[in-house]
Amino acid sequence: MKDRSLLMIPGPIEFAPEVLRAMGMATTSHVAPNFIEVFATALDRLREVFLAPNGQPFVVAGSGTLAMDMAAANLVEPGDKALVVNTGVFGDRFGEILERYGAQVTHARAPRPGSVPEPGDVEAMLEDGHFRVMTVTQVDTSTGVAADVKGLAAMGREHDVLVVVDGVCSVAGEELRQDAWGVDLALTASQKAIGVPPGLALLVAGPRAMEAFHSRSAPVVNYYADWSQWLPIMEAYEAREPSYFGTPPVNLIWALNTSLGLILGEGLEARFERHRQVSRAVKAAVAALGMTQVPVSGKIAANTLTAPRFPDGVDGSLLAHVKRAGVILAGGLHPEIKAEYFRIGHMGVVSGADVLATVGALEQGLAGVGYEFQPGAGLTAAQEVFCEA
Ligand SMILES: *Cc1c(COP(=O)(O)O)cnc(C)c1O
């Protein structure tokens, strides 16, 4: 059999053939006129995808963690107070990064994995805290929980904090309206819903974030992450002028431009809706197969991934069975519940057909580990979602 497993994890994801072809193109110079044009187009398309018409995009070689690092390095000065709205592992990570740059970090923690902090508690912390920055993980990939970015950003703005959104598992999949919602900086990585192989850190900084950066009193202590290095480069590309600080990953940026073109061609509203529908189908299937999920309610469950809990008598060996049926799923990530659940990523170019293949493989895997259920129950539930449309 041809090796063509379906990669249904929360990043890296399946990529469009056009995007992969762009990765295989003959690499040009980073100052070749045709590459400068592609880079410039990609930067402008990022503003459209982030819905941040006045934002300053940054495209830098690295992963999502570098994007987080860059946000903290440029926006925080030693002694600043930072509030982390923490819904899982990536909130912990943001807290550590902020501390590394000298911030005094307070966490507004979800009471348990799968929940969100009470909005009233966040509000009270903002009231008392005199924070400079608040971070929110839009979708925490370790729990499958989606935070209310719109509500939290409004709260943050009211208390005059810089609102930073870790959108690594959400941008271009989950609804995020950076400008309209008052998000000062949003960031992601190429390999998730943006749909480009791993290797790019992507940030869009709004006017308030750039202003905060320009009025820093202390220099940025990280040489590579310093926007003083990167801002002139981004501006030069948009002005169609050659420039150099660190060699850009030419093929990845070519692929990014291709993927952003596909995303805008689909249309953001249609894309958000497709992610909602796919998510409903996967979650209906999981429920029909007798599994609960890590998010404690459907209202706070992400549309880019699903985090089912293993049913009684089933453990992580399920995933090997599912893989044999042709679909790769991810194990648990949150340390407190790691062995109790698994994760199904469904973002980017994911289709209804991919969902049916995934649920079919999941059923075969469940049968393989001796779980008792009605074969086809998950498929029927997913199919009902697609057929009601
Ligand atoms: C994947 C992820 C990250 C980290 O991105 P890397 O590219 O693995 O460094 C950060 N935050 C969230 C929400 C993620 O899903």
Ligand 1 site-directed mutation target among 68, 136, 169, most atoms within 8 Å of CB: 169
Q: How far is the CA of 169 from the CAs of 86, 121, 302, 321, in angstroms?
A: 15, 25, 9, 26
| Band of residue 343 on the pLDDT scale cut at 50, 70, 90 | very high
pLDDT at site 29: 97
In a domain, 27, yes or no: yes
- Counting the structural domains of the chain, the total is 2
Q: What one-letter code names the amino acid at 238?
A: E
Do 222 and 341 share a domain, yes or no?
Answer: no
* pLDDT at residue 1 is higher than 90: no
Which among 266, 292, 310 is the end of a domain?
Answer: 266
Each residue of 99-122: b (16+ CB within 10 Å) or e? eebebebbbbbbeebbbbbeeeeb
Q: What is the pTM of this model?
A: 0.98
In a domain, 379, yes or no: yes
> Which CATH number goes with the domain that contains 373?
3.90.1150.10
Task: Tell me what the pLDDT averaged over the chain comes to.
Answer: 97
- For residues 275 and 301, give the distance between their C-alpha atoms in angstroms, rounded to a whole number: 12
CB of 168 closer than 6 angstroms to any ligand 1 atom: yes
**Peptide bond preceding 12: is omega within 30 degrees of 0, i.e. cis?**
yes
| Band of residue 279 on the pLDDT scale cut at 50, 70, 90 | very high
- Domain around 93: 17-266
- For residues 286 and 377, give the distance between their C-alpha atoms in angstroms, rounded to a whole number: 9
pLDDT at site 169: 97
124 contact partners, CB below 8 Å, separation of at least 6:
none
Ligand 1 site-directed mutation target among 65, 69, 85, 200, most atoms within 8 Å of CB: 65
- For residues 345 and 193, give the distance between their C-alpha atoms in angstroms, rounded to a whole number: 10
Do 256 and 343 share a domain, yes or no?
Answer: no
| Band of residue 4 on the pLDDT scale cut at 50, 70, 90 | confident
Do 249 and 377 share a domain, yes or no?
Answer: no
Do 313 and 227 share a domain, yes or no?
Answer: no
In a domain, 239, yes or no: yes
CB of 174 closer than 6 angstroms to any ligand 1 atom: no
Do 185 and 45 share a domain, yes or no?
Answer: yes
Which among 239, 266, 293 is the end of a domain?
Answer: 266
Over residues 256-263, the mean pLDDT reads: 98
What is the whole-number distance in angstroms between the Cα of residue 64 and the centre of ligand 1? 5
Over residues 183-204, the mean pLDDT reads: 98
Tens digit of each residue's pLDDT (9 = 90 or more) over 88-103: 999 999 999 999 999 9
